[in-house]
Amino acid sequence: MAKIKRNRNGTRKDVIIAKAAKLFREKGFSATSMRDLAEHVGVEAASLYNHISSKAEILQEICFKTANNFMSHIEEVDATPNKTAIEKIQAILRFHIRQMLDNYEEVYVSDREWKHLTDPYLSNMQTQRRAYRQRIASVIEDGIRKGEIKPIDAPTAVLIMLHAVSGIESWHRSKKKIAGEVLEDNMVQILVDGLRKQA
């Protein structure tokens, strides 16, 4: 029977989660079976249960790992002294874009398939997503108070920014695409310049 090959710095469970993220993105969580995943990994379905209990467990791992990464980063940025609100938004956006470029499968699944979680995980994820948006909005509102950012509706600005980053999905599918670094710089410039209050 074939064994799951580990990555150099990861566990067999990490391999399963990475393969599952790819399948969940391509087929959707509901349409992906454990048999599909076993075939994708290259093992018997029974072997998967030595590492995971269900595909629901995999979705939980993907969603909360991604959500925790984003929240940890924004907390770190927000706690950095002497950063302007604009600099904080730039740092948050760059991180979000890099995650979408470098960890596309997992970020995509976390963003699109989280609704298939069941409680208490579903409620927890809803709370985390709301808290993340509110945290970005509070940075924008702080910038408005300090005269760095235009007087706009912060939740609307957050919605636009996150939808723009989510649109990187089409960059991944494009056959003629600019370099990821160029995409990142262009997106940050466009989105941040729309917030910046002109002197």
Q: The domain that contains 161 carries what CATH number?
A: 1.10.357.10
pLDDT tens across the length of the chain (199 residues): 445 555 555 688 888 899 999 999 999 999 999 899 989 888 887 788 888 889 999 999 999 999 999 999 999 999 998 999 999 999 999 999 999 999 999 999 999 999 999 999 999 999 999 999 999 999 999 999 999 999 999 999 999 999 999 999 999 999 889 999 999 999 999 999 989 987 6
- CATH number for the domain that contains residue 46: 1.10.10.60
Classify residue 198: in a domain, yes or no. no
pLDDT at 171: 95
Domain that holds residue 23: 1-53
Q: How many domains does the chain have?
A: 2
119: left (phi over 0), alpha (psi -120 to 50) or beta: beta
Q: Indicate whether 149 belongs to any domain.
A: yes
Confirm whether 199 is domain-assigned. no
Residues 79 and 46 in one domain: no
Q: 39 with 59, same domain?
A: no
- Least Cα distance to 124 among 68, 54, 55 occurs for 68
193: left (phi over 0), alpha (psi -120 to 50) or beta: alpha
Distance CA 171, CA 77 (A): 27
Tell me: do 155 and 178 sit in the same domain. yes
Residue 172 lies in a domain: yes
Does 84 lie in the same domain as 44?
Answer: no
pLDDT at 6: 56
Q: What is the pLDDT of residue 123?
A: 98
Q: Which amino acid is at 2?
A: A
Q: In this structure, are 59 and 46 located in the same domain?
A: no
SS3 assignment, position 196? strand
Does pTM surpass 0.75?
yes
61 belongs to a structural domain? yes
pLDDT at 1: 41
CA dihedral sign, ordered 50, 102, 135, 123 = negative
pLDDT of residue 175: 87
Whether residue 34 sits in one domain with residue 62: no
Q: Answer yes or no: do 132 and 44 share one domain.
A: no
My answer on whether 33 and 89 are in the same domain is no
Same domain, 35 and 96: no
Residues 72, 160, single domain; the answer is: yes
